[in-house]
């Protein structure tokens, strides 16, 4: 019995959702708004971060920790469906790019755009909700270009983000980009190879639940669900 506490607009949560589906693991989902600081949630994870996975009562915290755990306990048996490379150097390259998506890109772009455009609309003003800060949005949008250029360079020089096979790095980068794409923040015309790579990710069956995500009162841009965008 596995439960994932997640949020639709958390890139780390999306990465774990993709991995769970790729590994065909049955799971119950519970959406969490961390700003509510729900007591039972804080007892599981005093860091008040998402995602959190509960496996038979055991609490596993954080996207990369959960991914490592799922790979160690389930992925290692998946043979050609495994999204963790077998070799230490391959895993190191994958982990570098998972960190890039879920830490660097998150800290310089995703976190700000989601906070300003989505979370602040959901939160009451007593805990910091309100109108987006246009200066923070402008800074994050300026940073997007630099990151897309790097992901685009990877897409041009490799079949997949970390090399010649799809790995967890593809799941993490696609998760981050899918959030921003929902909000119409990505100009796909800038980079044909990156667009082609994202189209391949988007057409995977594991991606369907992400494309079905909807925020109340905030529909996605029209091309968000199109496989041919």
* Contact set with its own copies (CB under 8 A): 46-47, 49, 58, 60-62, 64-66, 68-69, 72-73, 88-89, 91-92, 95-96, 99-100, 103-104, 107, 150
Closest to 8 measured CA to CA, from 183, 213, 221, 150: 213
Name the residue nearer to its own copies (CB basis): 61 or 199.
61
In the bound complex, what is the minimum distance in angstroms from residue 213's beta carbon to its own copies? 25
In the bound complex, what is the minimum distance in angstroms from residue 202's beta carbon to its own copies? 26
Q: How far apart are CA 209 and CA 159, in angstroms?
A: 24
In the bound complex, what is the minimum distance in angstroms from residue 200's beta carbon to its own copies? 24
Q: Count Cα atoms within 13 angstroms, Cβ side, for 115.
A: 17
Residue 214 CB partners (closer than 8 Å, separation 6+):
220
Name the residue nearer to its own copies (CB basis): 102 or 210.
102
Name the residue nearer to its own copies (CB basis): 124 or 153.
153
Distances (CA, A) of 83 to 75, 209, 210: 7, 19, 19
In the bound complex, what is the minimum distance in angstroms from residue 170's beta carbon to its own copies? 17
């Amino acid at each position: 019995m596995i439960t994932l506490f997640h949020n639709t607009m958390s890139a780390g949560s999306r990465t774990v959702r993709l991995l769970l589906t790729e590994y065909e693991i049955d799971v119950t989902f519970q959406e969490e708004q961390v700003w509510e600081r729900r007591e039972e949630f804080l007892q599981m994870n005093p860091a008040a971060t998402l995602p959190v996975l509960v496996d038979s009562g055991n609490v596993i915290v954080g996207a990369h920790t959960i991914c490592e755990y799922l790979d160690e306990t389930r992925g290692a048996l998946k043979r050609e469906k495994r999204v963790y490379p077998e070799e230490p150097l391959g895993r190191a390259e994958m982990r570098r790019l998972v960190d890039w998506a879920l830490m660097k890109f998150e800290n310089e772009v995703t976190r700000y755009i989601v906070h300003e455009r989505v979370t602040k609309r959901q939160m009451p003003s007593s805990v910091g909700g309100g109108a987006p800060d246009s200066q923070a949005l402008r800074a994050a949008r300026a940073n997007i270009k630099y990151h897309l250029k790097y992901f685009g360079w990877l897409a041009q020089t490799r079949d997949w983000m970390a090399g010649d096979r799809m790995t967890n790095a593809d799941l993490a980068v696609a998760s981050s980009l899918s959030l921003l794409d929902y909000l119409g923040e990505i100009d796909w015309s800038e980079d044909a190879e990156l667009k082609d790579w994202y189209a391949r990710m988007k057409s995977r069956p594991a991606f369907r639940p992400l494309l079905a995500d909807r925020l109340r009162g905030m529909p996605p841009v029209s091309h968000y669900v199109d496989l041919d965008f």
